[in-house]
A and B are shown apart, each in its own frame.
Chain A
Amino acid sequence: MPIELIIPLLAAAVQSGTPILYATLGEMITEKSGVLNLGVEGMMMIGALSAFWISLATGNPWLGFLMGGVCAAMLAAMHGLVCLGFQGNQVVSGLALTIFGVGLANYLGTPLVGTQGIGFSKVSLPVLADIPVLGAILFHQDVLVYLSFALPVLIWAFFRYTRLGLHLRSVGENPVAAATAGLNVIGLRWLGVLLGGFLVGLGGAYLSLAYIHLWTNGLTAGRGWIAVALVIFAFWRPGRAVFGAYLFGGVMAFQLRLQAMGTDIPASILMMLPYALTILVLIASTMTGRGGEAPAALAVNMEPEE
């Protein structure tokens, strides 16, 4: 394949990987605090819809982007209420959150279907964009992509160097010990749920504001679930999440390009690629034998005191 084709493809990989990256990092934060939230797909949809809607209504895409995160965090709060408040099963509650969130977004979004929205367009960064090859791939993107470059580093530093990050990790590893040490386990887990939901919502917002400027129902198309898988693939490490997200972005972009170019391979078969890859990637990551790095108390509720 000639380089003139590869560079746009890689640039597209970064772009379509970005929403997955936001969502993966969000879910990672939640899981680090010991809460499994399978509602990522639902939260992304809500994030996408509210961002689209609010940008359109106010004419301010930044406000929309932010509110996409906030509204998704509000949805995540329902998961927090059921699991942290009422000791509900985290797997089932997350699943219910996806059913509810996707349903709500499609329901409220029905009048908006086909509406042209506003959002972010590409901005070349001066100097950096002129770097050969790399510049065209990484620095000829929209602002939200640049923002996402900083995120993994920030999250990594947060968990490694800040007291709050350490506390968040410890309630995910051993909540009983953390409580004995005087930490507010439920409070910290709430923080993990809300912060994670916020980032997941930003991923959804990216889809409707920057990826396409159009509302369609079912916009996320399983990206939320791919993000859940990528957290496992990344062994709960932000750096590996970047790699995973761009890998999936690449496959999605490649698949779309092939369809647009018109191949003999039927569209349904091409569309299977990211989903099949998800399973393969999980197999690969567990076969390397390092899958055991999940937070030890993931999805385990803390019983109320007697």
Chain B
Amino acid sequence: MRLIRVTKRTEPLGWGSVLVFCAALGLSLSLACAALAVQGVAPLRALALLWEGGFGSVWSLEDSLRKAIPIYLCALGVSFTFRMQIWNIGAEGQFALGAIGAAWAVLTFPHLSAVALLPLMMLSAGAAGAFWALIPALTKVRLGVNEIISTLMLNYIGILLLNYLVYGPWRDPGGRGFPMTMEYPAAAQIGMLGGTRLHWGLVLCVVLSVLAWLFLNKTRLGYEIRASGESLRTARYAFMPYGFLVFLVMGICGMLAGWAGFVETSAVAHRLQPSILVGYGYTAIVVAWVARLKIGPMALAAFLLAGLRVGVEVLQLELRVPAAFGHILEGLVLLTVLAGQFFHYYRLRLEWPGQRAEGR
């Protein structure tokens, strides 16, 4: 009889992690194919369309990159909080508040020039997002309220707040009754990069990644954030009190997610409307975990999952696959990658019972 023995892994997995990831992705795709077959869609045709739609042409690559920008910004944000084991799942609400903050600046000062308006929008979006994230930080640190629940409830409330504004006081009178604000003036729109369909939000992502890396790896505060996530004992010796660090990471996350909302409304939607809320904040959590909170892999994962979203939109158009298919795929990817991370910490050895006795 052969036995499988589980032992703790002492050396890092290295390239094996790529293999594990690919296996997880393969398993997710095949399970998702089963879901397609149930609805009578030819799985292979769907997979080909999914690939083509998300990554198959310059046009689709541009689309995927455009979608990756808000996802990545949110993922970068939540990765700060996850590093400290703060289970902030409120990026979606913080994104909504950021979009609201940006819209407020536009609607209040519609005649400013771009040089003044864009920074103002960025400021108000970041502040609004951070404000939304600091509420659960406050209730956690001062009152011990579970942040999973509070951040999630604030998602619902933030989304409803956005709905209230665009159905009510901020509704465009010339919008034929559609729930949306007026179209932003040109000064409030982020410009495009050269002759592409990509906007300056992409550059913002690059700059923020570098800053985030420098902050986490080259500053004392960044070190403390990393250390306090790894063990509470180290946190106790930290220079900064734990509560302060919680406020800091939550504020950073809210600001980044808020900026994602700003970029999305300013560069893509050109107005505030409920359809900007398509769950980027939740996809960001998948991205952050799949990439194990590392900045480079997160950018890659954001692009990959954005591509899947674009591909699913094509499936929706061509094969009438419901949009929820994207969520199935995202959930499966996260579940399988999570199970696969087992191999980062443990190794399996096949072993004969006799062999084990000899070893002792």
Contact = CB atoms under 8 A, between A and B. Distances in A.
A199 B288 CA distance: 31
Contacts of B167: 266, 268
Given A82-B335, A106-B324, A271-B160, A88 B342 contact: yes
Interface string A80-103: 011001111101110111111111
Contacts of B87: 91
B157 A275 contact: yes
A103 B335 contact: no
B7 A306 contact: yes
A276 B89 contact: no
A96 B339 contact: no
Given A107-B35, A266-B167, A279 B153 contact: yes
B35 A104 contact: yes
B168 interface: yes
B331 A93 contact: no
Interface in B1-41: 6-8, 35, 38-39
A266 B164 contact: yes
A87 B325 contact: no
B192 interface: no
B49 interface: no
Given A91-B87, A92-B289, A96-B338, A107 B143 contact: no
A99 B330 contact: yes
B330 A103 contact: yes
Given A222-B156, A278-B153, A38 B148 contact: yes
Given A97-B331, A276-B157, A92 B338 contact: yes
Contacts of B139: 279, 282-283
A305 to B, nearest CB: 8
Interface stretch (A8-16, A202-210, A225-233): A225-233
Interface of B: 6-8, 35, 38-39, 87, 89, 139, 143-146, 148-150, 152-154, 156-157, 160-161, 163-164, 167-168, 282, 285-286, 289, 322, 324-332, 334-335, 338-342, 345-346
Given A100-B334, A107-B328, A287-B143, 7 more contacts: A92-B338, A96-B335, A107-B327, A268-B161, A275-B154, A275-B157, A279-B145
Interface of A: 38, 42, 78, 81-82, 85-89, 91-93, 95-108, 110-111, 217, 222, 225, 228-229, 232, 266, 268-269, 271-272, 275-276, 278-279, 282-283, 286-287, 291, 304-306
11 contacts: A103-B326, A103-B328, A103-B330, A104-B35, A222-B156, A266-B167, A268-B163, A268-B164, A275-B153, A279-B149, A283-B139
